[in-house]
Amino acid sequence: MKVARFVAALWLCGSATVVAAPQDEPPAPAAEVPPVEPPPEEQAPDGEQAADEAAADAAALDAEIASQELSGDAQVRLDAARESVVQIRGFFHKSETSAFHGSGFAVDDGQRIVTNYHVVAQAVLHPRQYRLEYLASDGRTGPLHILAIDVRNDLAVVAAEDLELPPLRLRSEIPAQGERAWSIGFPLNLGLTITEGVANGLVEDSIVQRVHYTGAINGGMSGGPALDTRGRVYGVNVSVVSGRQLVGFIVPARHIPPLLARAREPMDQSLSAQQLRQRVTAQVLAYEAEVLDAQPDSAATQTVQGYALPTQISPHVECSTVDESSPHVLVSVETVSCWIPALIRVQQGVHVAGLSMRHRILQSEGLHPLQFERQVNSLAAAPRRTGSAAHVAAFACRDALVSLDGFDARISTCVRQYRLFAGLYDFDVTVVGVDDERQALVSRLALQGVSFDTGKKTMERYLGALQWRP
Amino acid sequence: MLVEQAGIQGQPILRQRFAGAGTECRIGRDLGCDIVVDDEHAAPQHALLTLLEDGRVNVRDLGTRNGTRVDGKLVPADVGAIIEQGEIIVGRTRLRVRTRHVPMGSERLFRREFVRRHRTLLATAGVLACVAFGGFLQWLDAPSSMLRSVTKGGLVALGLIALWTGLWALTTKLNHGSWHVRLHVTIASIGAALCAWGYWLAGLVSFTAQWPEIVQIGVAAIGVATLIAFYLHLREATHYRRRMAFALAGAATLVIGAVAWIVAFGVEDGDVNRVNLGPEVRLGAARVVPNRDISDYLAEVDELRLAAARERQKSLLNAPLADDED
């Protein structure tokens, strides 16, 4: 899905969601901290919400909308959650000014704070360089330490000594499409803010679970709670589609309890920087084993001009035939593109566990073979690779002329390693079919942030499926 | 060369020095001559001395009735005589000529005998080869307007050679007093044509033989060709001796090579997005080596695990991770 790709486009520095609570009533573990309850005047909408959860009653919903004033509603939500939400700020070394900031909120016993992994990623990956602090609604500040991270779901649990806030209740089920929702956080460092919108259910066909929220989310709100009509946390603000309008994404709250179960001692103090990076790598590899390494029931291929081109080399691959302008008027190109979006962000600007495959069949319409081969070579060399020297090392390459199924090809394989994550590699495989003077295959497989073994296995599957049956 | 006119008792009464290959000295009664002799037996324009590159002098008679004698022998009317030193008799006047002759090496003899004789042919062939390459490159791109592009490619090649030749010919004119255009065209165009066509052919061979190193060898060959061309230009255009010319040509080649390297690869060599796809694919080209087996190739891909780790080590050495004390 195109949308899934866009999700990666803009991540908010921000906060997270809370542990799933029993559906009916959230237990309030700390006696002195009353659970956050909607004020009495909100009872009517709450009642409506319950009805909605069961199966929305349209007439009742109309009545609800007619009976309440929206702005007042948001104010009530914000007041109820105000004390539970903190701003999370990261500082470089002893610096007084923050390097990054996001949001977070108290859950469970009120001592643990949920936020996004990407809000605290710098502190996880460079624990000697960055420190975290919270800023509570009453102006208190203090150091935070990291208890647990979930890279796949972009969640983290942090805590501060002697900090106990009124916890928010969690709601584990996904809001129905059209349900009213609110998001709270500190957008662009402008102070505590609430936005109002509509939850649109889970994003379809997405590998990672996200609720689609139609409402404003901005940088700095990451990690902030996403609330339903009863003031329960149904998810954590995580990202928006940049350049579009009000398309935001929320991590469902159901992923919080398992993480809380793991959140015991501060991992950023017990583990070395290297061990923390290995932990991040291990989570990426576990995700990848599920998504990239899985064998499809049947390896699907698409046949174009006699070439059998691998498409479904993993069950999660999506394909499309894109309209690509030909490099030359006398060369026609048919393109099949397939991909798994790189949805896992391990570091700012570094998304991993992605796959992209592009097969292009070129046909000469009257070019001299010397002219045609020039077009083929320039197309094979055309892809611009992206990667920053801050994050990855240089490629190492091997090329050879190899006999594949039914045709000969030059295969060039290039591999590079991540600087921070020794277990992650980028693979870049280019295949150029060399047998015909009027028709050529230029195919490329690119893998982002995979283990070497997964990369090689995927590459073998890809090469094994390429065929020419003219 | 030093030309001395002897008086009645044999003592020199006039002494004049001429320097630079190609310099001419006209002798006769005419006031326009370089050496004016007051001799009624001499013609107004009697003899012409030309200083040659190797330091010797070509003595020619300018079609006089009495002729010109060198050491008593009459100079042949058509080709003249080449001397290192001697006594020239013009009418009744005796002129002593002395030179500093340096014997010519075989390389100069070759240039003199072969290149100079065929310089028109060689220059034409070289220019055609360069213009053809310029046109060929344009043709390879299969442009929409073939005529315009091929003409453009040819003209660019022609313009570059003209500019380069002009510089060297001017140097020659300043140092020797003559232009030597065809010689410099020959050196420049043949050198460039060898480099251009040679490099293209090396690409073909590297695919056909699956021998990627040939491209490196080709680059080295281009370096050698550049060195030789510079050397020949310097020898033609200046008075530098062999060693000096060689040293200057070497320095120029190094500078040009360094600039080309920077243009091609950039100053930083740690470009993390550069991939080496191998020799360009030639469709339907005859290949002289059999294809690799896929399992052999995949085994070779395993080596990339180590190679990539080495690149990472290199990267970490260049720029260590900020908190790598662990």
With tokens 């330091």, the residue in question is: B55
Q: Are B181 and B163 in contact (CB under 8 A)?
A: no
- Does A417 contact B276 at a Cβ distance shorter than 8 Å? no
* Mean pLDDT across B145-169: 93
Of B108, B88, B105, nearest to B97 by C-alpha is B88
The pLDDT profile of chain A, 470 residues, written as one tens digit per residue, is 444 444 433 444 433 322 222 333 333 333 332 333 333 333 333 333 444 444 445 555 555 555 544 445 888 888 889 999 999 999 988 888 888 999 999 998 888 999 999 999 999 998 888 999 999 999 999 999 999 999 999 999 999 988 889 999 999 999 999 999 999 999 988 889 999 999 999 988 778 899 999 999 988 999 999 999 888 999 999 988 888 888 999 999 999 999 999 888 888 888 888 888 999 999 999 998 888 877 776 668 888 888 999 988 888 888 888 767 777 888 889 999 999 988 888 888 889 989 999 999 998 888 999 999 999 999 999 888 988 888 999 999 999 999 998 889 999 999 999 999 989 999 999 999 987 888 999 999 999 999 999 999 999 999 988 988 87
Higher pLDDT, B19 or A56: B19
For residue A124, give the 3-state DSSP assignment.
Answer: helix
Nearest CA in chain A to B211: A400
- Does B284 contact A437 at a Cβ distance shorter than 8 Å? yes
Of A191, A241, A233, nearest to A215 by C-alpha is A241
Distance of CA A335 to the CA centre of its chain: 27
Please state, in angstroms and rounded to a whole number, the distance separating the CA atoms of residues B21 and A342.
74
Please state, in angstroms and rounded to a whole number, the distance separating the CA atoms of residues A115 and B100.
92
Q: Residue B281: which of A393, A398, A410 has the nearest Cβ? A: A410
Task: Provide the number of CB pairs (under 8 Å) joining chain A to chain B.
Answer: 180
Of A413, A4, A134, nearest to B299 by C-alpha is A413
Residues of chain B with C-beta less than 8 angstroms from the C-beta of A274: 326
Instruction: Write the DSSP assignment of A373-386 as a string of letters.
Output: HHHHHHHHT-PPP-
- Does A373 contact B294 at a Cβ distance shorter than 8 Å? no
- Does A398 contact B311 at a Cβ distance shorter than 8 Å? no
For residue B103, give the 3-state DSSP assignment.
Answer: coil
Residues of chain B with C-beta less than 8 angstroms from the C-beta of A349: none
Angle, alpha carbons A72-A75-A81 (nearest 5°): 145
Residues of chain B with C-beta less than 8 angstroms from the C-beta of A402: 291-294, 297
What pTM was estimated for this model as a whole?
0.74
Helix (H), strand (E) at residue B196: helix B181-208
- Does A402 contact B292 at a Cβ distance shorter than 8 Å? yes
Please state, in angstroms and rounded to a whole number, the distance separating the CA atoms of residues A201 and A178.
8
Name the token pair of B238: 């200046």
- Does B314 contact A394 at a Cβ distance shorter than 8 Å? yes
- Does A386 contact B273 at a Cβ distance shorter than 8 Å? yes
List, for residues B168-220, the tens digit of each pLDDT value.
Answer: 999 999 988 888 899 899 999 999 999 999 988 888 888 888 887 887 888 88
Give the minimum alpha-carbon distance from B134 to chain A in angstroms, rounded to a whole number: 15
Mutate to test the interface with B, among A331, A401, A413, A448 (most CBs of B within 10 A): A401
For residue B23, give the 3-state DSSP assignment.
Answer: coil
Say which residues have a Cβ less than 8 Å from residue A97's Cβ, sequence separation at least 6. A91
Model ipTM value: 0.77
Q: Are A229 and A45 in contact (CB under 8 A)?
A: yes
Give the minimum alpha-carbon distance from A448 to chain B in angstroms, rounded to a whole number: 13
- Does A367 contact B142 at a Cβ distance shorter than 8 Å? yes
Mutate to test the interface with A, among B137, B200, B277, B289 (most CBs of A within 10 A): B277
CA distances from B135 to A327, B282, B291 (A): 21, 20, 34
pLDDT band with cut points at 50, 70 and 90 for residue B289:
confident
Burial of B73 (0-12, 13-18, 19+ CB in 10 A): exposed
Beta strand B86-90 with A467-468 is unpaired
For residue B251, give the 3-state DSSP assignment.
Answer: helix
Please state, in angstroms and rounded to a whole number, the distance separating the CA atoms of residues A113 and A260.
10
- Does A272 contact B326 at a Cβ distance shorter than 8 Å? yes
